[in-house]
Amino acid sequence: MKIDHLGDALDHWKGSILLQSSQWTKDLKAEPMITYDPDKDHWNREEFMVYSRLLGLPLTHVLQHEWKQSNRCEYFKETQRQVEGDIFVDPSTGIEPNNFDRNHIRVEELLGLMKQDNLVLLYQHRRQGGKLRQTIEQVVKQIHAVQKVCGFTYEATSVAMLFLSRSPERLTPIREHLEKLLGNTKAKERIACF
């Protein structure tokens, strides 16, 4: 999550998806994966408060530890220590492509946040030069190359929310609710299971 993007329309979209899913999430925490230039900008309390309000989560459910690109392993271990239930991961652009940077999360890092029955929600951007569905197919292929998990996506025009779990029964009520909300035609266009 880049500080320059805080408060844009996509934060409202994320908050709406989390709200629609809230009946079925358990102790949902948000990992904003704040990406910034440490020499230029830094998130302060007010910015964390704005982020929590836009997501519809209490401030105490937004992880506020410092992003360290140089020590990604320790960063994600700290995330695992702070999260007992479900987690929303908000990297600036999503799962790493072949040439990842601090704006991405690695597949192994994402899977490390999965417990036996928790939900992991992941914000994913369309990759440059590609279509969103093509990006989602690539991301799912990357995930399944490491580990088979259950999931579905809710796709917008250029972004998607991925819902992942090792327990399909955690996913079904959320997917069915979103399908009902969208109706048959739009659900077929926007929701894809994998």
Q: What is the pLDDT of residues 129-183, one digit of tens each?
A: 778 888 888 888 889 999 999 999 999 988 999 999 999 999 999 999 999 999 9
Phi, psi angle pair for 64, to nearest 5°: -125, 25
The pLDDT value recorded for residue 38 is: 60
The residue assigned the tokens 């035609």 is 185
Residue 14's Cα: distance from chain center in Å? 9
- Rounded to an integer, the average pLDDT of 38-54 is 84
Q: What string of DSSP letters covers 41-61?
A: ----HHHHHHHHHHHT--GGG
Q: Could you tell me where the beta strands, DSSP code E, fall in 138-180?
A: 150-155, 159-165
Q: Which of 5, 33, 155, 43 is nearest to 103 (CA)?
A: 33
The pLDDT value recorded for residue 97 is: 67
The residue ranking higher by pLDDT, 133 or 81, is 81
The CATH-assigned architecture of domain 3-193 is: 3-Layer(aba) Sandwich (3.40)
Q: What is the pLDDT of residues 86-136, one digit of tens each?
A: 999 998 778 876 666 667 888 899 999 999 899 999 999 887 777 888 888
In this prediction, residue 39 has a pLDDT band, given cuts at 50, 70 and 90, of low
68, pLDDT greater than 70: no
The pLDDT value recorded for residue 125 is: 84
Q: Across the strands, what pairs with 121?
A: 88, 163
In this prediction, residue 75 has a pLDDT band, given cuts at 50, 70 and 90, of confident
Q: Are strands 94-95 and 104-105 parallel, antiparallel or unpaired?
A: parallel
In this prediction, residue 48 has a pLDDT band, given cuts at 50, 70 and 90, of very high
Which 3 state secondary structure label does DSSP give 150? strand
Question: The whole model's pTM is what?
Answer: 0.91
**Largest Cα–Cα separation, the chain:** 49
Q: What is the pLDDT of residues 13-31, one digit of tens each?
A: 999 999 999 999 999 999 9
Residue 168 identity: P
CB atoms within 10 A of CB 120: 23
Q: Are strands 87-89 and 120-125 parallel, antiparallel or unpaired?
A: parallel
